[in-house]
Structure 1
Amino acid sequence: MEHILSGQQPTPFSDKPWLNRYPADVPADIDADKFTSLLEMFEHGVSEFADLPAYSNFGKTLTYRDLDRLSRDFAAYLQQGLKLAPGERIALMMPNLLQYPVCLFGALRAGLVVVNVNPLYTARELKHQLSDAGTSTIVIVENFAHTLTEVLEETPVKQVILTRMGDHLGLVKGTMVNVVVRHIKKLVPDYHLPAAIAYKTAMAQGSGLRYTRPELNGDTLAFLQYTGGTTGRSKGAMLSHRNMLANVEQCLGVYGPVLSKGQEKVVTALPLYHVFALTVNGLLFFRIGAHNLLITNPRDIKGFVRELKGYDFSCITGVNTLFNALVNNTDFQGHDFKSLKLTIGGGMAVQRAVAEQWQAITGSRLLEGYGLTECSPLVTVCPYDMDGYNGSIGLPVCSTEVRLVDDNGAEIHLTHTPGELEVKGPQVMSGYWGQAGEDDDAFHDGWLRTGDIATIDGQGFLKIVDRKKDMILVSGFNVFPNEIEDVAMQHPDVLEAGAVGVAHKTSGEIVKLVVVKKPGASLGEKALLVHCRQYLTAYKVPKVIEFRDELPKTNVGKILRRELREPAS
């Protein structure tokens, strides 16, 4: 009764009210079977865009024709040289290098299942993923080979293909890069992999071997994409060719009206082993013949900005922390953004202060999207015709159903009422690899449980309040970290902020806020508390404020909230 009296009315979300808010040229549904497999999509793309630039890195560019030839050679080596059968798992453990798209599409052309691996994994994490996936082969950059050395004998890996940073850069430049990386910057710790096959040797042999096109269909497994999932330890989301193709078409449905085939230049700073960059940068922009600039080390913001010089990019994707770092870089602020037409934020919540700064500096709206690995990953996006930041994650993408449920699993029909977000659509995984018990927890009556608490308005705009497990409970009241962080970020002297709950003897938990100040700022605890009290009710105001030089983050840039609970070392 309380909600109805305050103006909230029951809404039949099964009617998909968001369709009425779609721009006129965005379709309600997509054809998830436009291509029978990612292989067919690849063949179509390299034929249509053969002489256009596909990927650039360290000043070297591969055309779509080059990518076709090189990935064919790699596929042939996997099939004939290593005798790998369709369905076998191959791990790719590397940052954004030209080797990645060659190996990615080569593996798919051989009918293999790609297991993307974070190069910064610890030995324990690597052992778990390789063993859980039953991985027979791994392609790894030598910078991270020492980690594999520690656990190789405890994994099912039989073949190791070892590459170096400069392997696709030509004799002179490639040699120079490899020397600098190994001997000057000393970025290659000692390793012992005596049976490893050199990537260049594999490619040379593959060029003389026969390639056999495998028979693939939409249900064929394409990726084991590892994730923390909605609960528990890392597990492999089984993403089929159809799952990935559907999400590419969904991306094309919502972003396509502002994109032109064969004309876009996209910046790929997020690692392609991450599902957001994999689908959007790696597959969507391939689908339209875009030129992809691969950034190997986006944490080096100065180096990143230098690479943008002379590259008149029209699209860029990233996470909030990346955009925040860019808008606070004076060299980036002076860049010419006349061609920038599409900025997509995902992976974590986009904060108002960052979105508004980005739009003020670049003239481009920062369109937040939301997804999860289990959905290949895109679920919702802000429509391209929005005026600016509205605090939402946008509308469900084409051919997608969403609903909110309460703690008892009953569907919520009131707008602006928090509930767990559940999803249906052709992009949703079939389940977790070898984890039937986890599947029972992940699905509810055929709907994927996201583990995220959201609200929805009458137009279909969704807002993520937070993840269930990150919720702070203060004296029986739910406090969502995103809200605290968003308020803190609006202070002009705050560069980054992270909020967590810490135990308290009387209220159960209290809010702890960890802040990184902007360079030169003299912000103190009292001033920040005054600011927070302006925008937050008393129980939400942080009771502990800690200043740090930086926030702990994953390699993709997500803030590691669990590490914020402990005092800075």
Structure 2
Amino acid sequence: MPNKPWLKEYPAEVPPTYEYPKRNLAHFLVDSASAHPDRIALEFLGKRINYRSLLASSRRFANALLRLGVRKGDRVAVMLPNCPQGVIAYYGTLLMGGIVVMTNPLYMPRELEHQLRDSGAKVIVTLDQLVGRVKKATAARPLDHLIVTTIQDYLPFPKNLLFPLKQKKEGKYVKIDYGGNVHAFRELLNRSPADAEEVSVDADRDLALVQYTGGTTGLAKGVMLTHSNLVANTIQSRLWCYRIESAQERLLAALPFFHVFGLTCLLNLGIYTAGTLILLPRYEPGQVLETIQKQRPTMFPGAPTMYIGLMNHPRIKEYDLSSIKCCISGAASLPHQVQERFETLTGGKLIEGYGLTEASPVTHANNIWGKRKNGSIGIPFPDTQARIVYPDSFEDVEPGEIGELAVSGPQVMQGYWNRPEETERVLRDGWLLTGDLGTMDDEGFCYILDRRKDLIIAGGYNIYPREVEEVLFEHPDVEEAAVAGVVDPYRGETVKAYIVLRQGASVGADDLKAWCKERLAVYKVPKVYEFRETLPKTMAGKVLRRKLIEEDEEKARTS
């Protein structure tokens, strides 16, 4: 076992180890509803649902699934934006021992077909607007049941009456033919009892979630996460945010729950601490600013692009953001300038953390109210080990050398669903090889340079995109930047920068090249610059470098 220099950097309030309960993940909801039944659990576009009501609805959903023939271990897909129905379906499935498959509502039929077929899902819960896509995806292999809801199901009066009229006016109204294996969400709940249906689970072995990775490098893989994995990571996150007060916090849920970061650090953490989750079905900077001013959230986990979007909003200074106490940024690297400016605007703390789907997801974070280091992902969570290793030999690199980050802890997955060979490649004696290249300093702070697959090798030199992106982010006219390696007949690869400029800026490629030359070794300076309106991203805000490269390759083929 490695030594643990990071423990010296722990605040006195954070224990290095903890006894995690072995139980169903849904007990977070049961406990909070028992202790704080009248506390508001969810706020959704004016609708308020307390913990008593949320637990009752979740139990009704659990009983509805049992009536439909769903049994312990069966997979239930939930394809919804952040809305009450998604929370009810999630905890209801867990209560009856089912395995949740959280599914991106932006998926096209081909992507959805792979996920449903691979997981063997029997049921899907989705929006009326998405039914056509689901039916295309399941034409070859129909599901046992399709449970359909609409946004208006959980809108307050009179919004619930006006919503379908608005949809018809905009040509978005979808008529669903209920019957057979197509069920209305609200009717299923109304016809099911709210009696407790206690299904025993072996928390260390029984899966709570099959969570699919982004699939940016091929077909998405299902990550098997047990009840113990997710319970542990939720509690680890709570221990790290030690100033959180039970039944006091208000969490802004703009990060999607179908992404494991949003699932753990918003949904599970919010319910565990009896917080109020302010649900936003999609991220839109103006709406987020309005929501912060009116609803006064205290916590706002998110991706760097979310914070960047807020800070570059033309009316940012008109809003009072002072309710924000702490934010954990994940899914991508957090530029230091973004961190500093956001903290100045809010008076709260914004720290960078690190995780991956295979670890439920969080393994590292900077101290929120203690020592942190610029450019670092921080130090390992309680009960979490970290090493920097040579990926082939799995031996530790010399201190300060670059290697692959390996982690172990109670949050690490059981493996990939139906993929034993791929599981063996990344899990070794309880250690997870993350695929990320980085270093660890003598105090245990880790630094991620880049994904192994994103490393640029130009003229024999190793170039880490994140390092170049940090320099570009420092330029006052740059709003967003991504760097990738593109084919070069002489150097093998060359560095290309994809730039989104701030509104009104007119800086050119020569200016940015000169800026980089002053701050980077010459071989790291981007040779090619492409100015764009936007960068392709996942719903969690991670820039898809692979997509940028594919676009370039397609242009080269057709030119």
Q: What's the counterpart of residue 158 of structure 1?
A: 144
Residues 554-563 or 457-466, more deviating: 554-563
Is 1:411 the counterpart of 2:399 in the alignment? no
The aligned amino acid for 1:85 is R
> After superposition, where does 1:486-525 map in structure 2 within 5 Å?
486-525=470-509
CA shift, 1:179, in A, is 3.0
Assess if the C-alpha contact under 8 Å between 1:227 and 1:234 holds in 2. Answer: yes
Q: What's the counterpart of residue 24 of structure 1?
A: 12
**Selected match of 2:511 from 527, 537, 544:** 527
CA shift, 1:210, in A, is 5.5
**Selected match of 1:452 from 433, 436, 445:** 436
Supply the distance in 1 between the matched residues of 2:191 and 2:326 (Cα, whole angstroms).
Answer: 41
Distance 1:224 1:539, change over 3 A: same
**Selected match of 2:168 from 183, 191, 198:** 183
CA shift, 1:442, in A, is 1.6
Supply the distance in 1 between the matched residues of 2:527 and 2:322 (Cα, whole angstroms).
Answer: 45
Is 1:59 the counterpart of 2:46 in the alignment? yes
Assess if the C-alpha contact under 8 Å between 1:320 and 1:349 holds in 2. Answer: yes
Supply the distance in 2 between the matched residues of 1:171 and 1:58 (Cα, whole angstroms).
Answer: 11
**Selected match of 2:337 from 353, 373, 377:** 353
Q: What's the counterpart of residue 281 of structure 2?
A: 296
Is 1:74 the counterpart of 2:61 in the alignment? yes
The aligned amino acid for 1:21 is E
Is 1:380 the counterpart of 2:368 in the alignment? no
Residues 360-369 or 227-236, more deviating: 227-236
**What's the secondary structure of 2:154's corresponding residue?**
coil
CA shift, 1:171, in A, is 5.4
Under a length normalisation based on structure 1, what TM-score does the superposition of the two structures give?
A: 0.93
Assess if the C-alpha contact under 8 Å between 2:178 and 2:184 holds in 1. Answer: no
**What's the secondary structure of 2:435's corresponding residue?**
strand
**What's the secondary structure of 2:2's corresponding residue?**
helix
Supply the distance in 2 between the matched residues of 1:478 and 1:286 (Cα, whole angstroms).
Answer: 44
Assess if the C-alpha contact under 8 Å between 1:30 and 1:253 holds in 2. Answer: no
Assess if the C-alpha contact under 8 Å between 1:127 and 1:154 holds in 2. Answer: no
CA shift, 1:77, in A, is 1.0
Residues 534-543 or 37-46, more deviating: 37-46
CA deviation digits over 1:231-254, x for unaligned, max 9? 752111111000101111111121
**Selected match of 2:248 from 260, 263, 274:** 263
**What's the secondary structure of 2:320's corresponding residue?**
coil
Is 1:115 the counterpart of 2:101 in the alignment? yes
CA deviation digits over 1:134-181, x for unaligned, max 9? 10000001122221121222235110001001111245322322332x
Q: What's the counterpart of residue 270 of structure 2?
A: 285
Assess if the C-alpha contact under 8 Å between 1:114 and 1:222 holds in 2. Answer: yes
CA shift, 1:364, in A, is 2.1
Q: What's the counterpart of residue 425 of structure 1?
A: 409
Assess if the C-alpha contact under 8 Å between 1:146 and 1:190 holds in 2. Answer: no
Q: What's the counterpart of residue 338 of structure 1?
A: 322
Assess if the C-alpha contact under 8 Å between 2:230 and 2:411 holds in 1. Answer: yes
CA shift, 1:359, in A, is 1.5
Residues 378-387 or 455-464, more deviating: 378-387
Supply the distance in 2 between the matched residues of 1:554 and 1:339 (Cα, whole angstroms).
Answer: 28
The aligned amino acid for 1:258 is R
CA shift, 1:229, in A, is 7.4
> After superposition, where does 1:32-47 map in structure 2 within 5 Å?
32=20, 34-47=21-34
Q: What's the counterpart of residue 216 of structure 1?
A: 201
CA shift, 1:388, in A, is 6.3
Assess if the C-alpha contact under 8 Å between 2:148 and 2:184 holds in 1. Answer: yes
CA shift, 1:375, in A, is 0.5
Supply the distance in 1 between the matched residues of 2:76 and 2:291 (Cα, whole angstroms).
Answer: 31
Assess if the C-alpha contact under 8 Å between 1:371 and 1:380 holds in 2. Answer: yes
Q: What's the counterpart of residue 535 of structure 2?
A: 551
Please list every run of 5 or more consecutive structure 1 residues that lacks an aligned counterpart in the other structure. Answer: 1-12
Aligned length: 551
The aligned amino acid for 1:75 is A
Distance 1:185 1:20, change over 3 A: farther
Assess if the C-alpha contact under 8 Å between 1:220 and 1:240 holds in 2. Answer: yes
**What's the secondary structure of 1:280's corresponding residue?**
helix
Supply the distance in 2 between the matched residues of 1:98 and 1:372 (Cα, whole angstroms).
Answer: 26
Supply the distance in 1 between the matched residues of 2:328 and 2:164 (Cα, whole angstroms).
Answer: 33
Please list every run of 5 or more consecutive structure 2 residues that lacks an aligned counterpart in the other structure. Answer: none
CA shift, 1:385, in A, is 2.3
Residues 156-165 or 358-367, more deviating: 358-367
Supply the distance in 2 between the matched residues of 1:189 and 1:559 (Cα, whole angstroms).
Answer: 32
The aligned amino acid for 1:183 is K
Assess if the C-alpha contact under 8 Å between 1:365 and 1:389 holds in 2. Answer: no
Assess if the C-alpha contact under 8 Å between 2:304 and 2:329 holds in 1. Answer: yes
Distance 1:190 1:50, change over 3 A: closer
Distance 1:523 1:406, change over 3 A: same
Q: What's the counterpart of residue 7 of structure 1?
A: none
The aligned amino acid for 1:24 is A
> After superposition, where does 1:96-175 map in structure 2 within 5 Å?
96-170=82-156, 172-175=158-161
**Selected match of 1:249 from 232, 235, 253:** 235
**What's the secondary structure of 2:481's corresponding residue?**
strand
Under a length normalisation based on structure 2, what TM-score does the superposition of the two structures give?
A: 0.95
> After superposition, where does 1:311-330 map in structure 2 within 5 Å?
311-330=295-314
Assess if the C-alpha contact under 8 Å between 1:365 and 1:388 holds in 2. Answer: no
Assess if the C-alpha contact under 8 Å between 1:240 and 1:429 holds in 2. Answer: yes
